[in-house]
Amino acid sequence: MGEAVLNASHVGQEVRLSLTVDADLPQHNASYSISSVATQELCSLRFRQHSQEGRHSWEESLDFDQERHEARYTRGAQVSAVSVPECARDPLTLLYFFRRQLAFQEVPRGQPHNGVFHLGADFSVSFEAVTPETVRMGTKAWEGDRYLISYVGPGGRNSFEVWIRPDLSRTPVAIKVAFPLATYTAELQ
């Protein structure tokens, strides 16, 4: 029904992240292309997102000025300047930051972890380890730690699940997101 690919690379003093999701849902297609550039400390510099759900599409971007604690948020023709906390993170950078904390064992196992990401407004995020389990997709199976990721912002509360392999690099292997018409489960490569 679709595909999701998450990439991370180091280029000079920057970390570049990208996530693409293509889903063929029963009533309409959904496609998301997200990219983020951050410092080595994983403080966001730029964030871009192009989303399409059926006939509806939109683009949004954030350009961060970490020294001034400001960000310029653009969605369509609307542009706003907003204040951001020190070392502000966009959604993709926050997920990568959490993964890195897991890899360096800076997050106690079995304890909820909280954070904040910025996307035109602050969103509070909770990462909660649900249970280690075997992840099965098609003919493949992996051992993985399942996390429930919940976030609250101006639009209310949302959540999704992600499975992370308990290896040293803490590789994400699957994600499950509920859409209004269907639940989308994807293997991450």
Which of 20-34, 84-98, 147-161, 163-177 is modeled with the greatest confidence?
A: 84-98
User: What's the rounded Cα separation, in Å, for the pair 102 and 7?
Assistant: 17
User: What's the rounded Cα separation, in Å, for the pair 184 and 24?
Assistant: 9
Identify the pLDDT of residue 173. 80
3-state secondary structure of 101: helix
In this structure, which amino acid lies at residue 50?
A: H
User: What's the rounded Cα separation, in Å, for the pair 114 and 91?
Assistant: 13
Positive or negative: CA dihedral 64, 69, 126, 111: positive
Residue 133's pLDDT band, with cuts at 50, 70 and 90, is confident
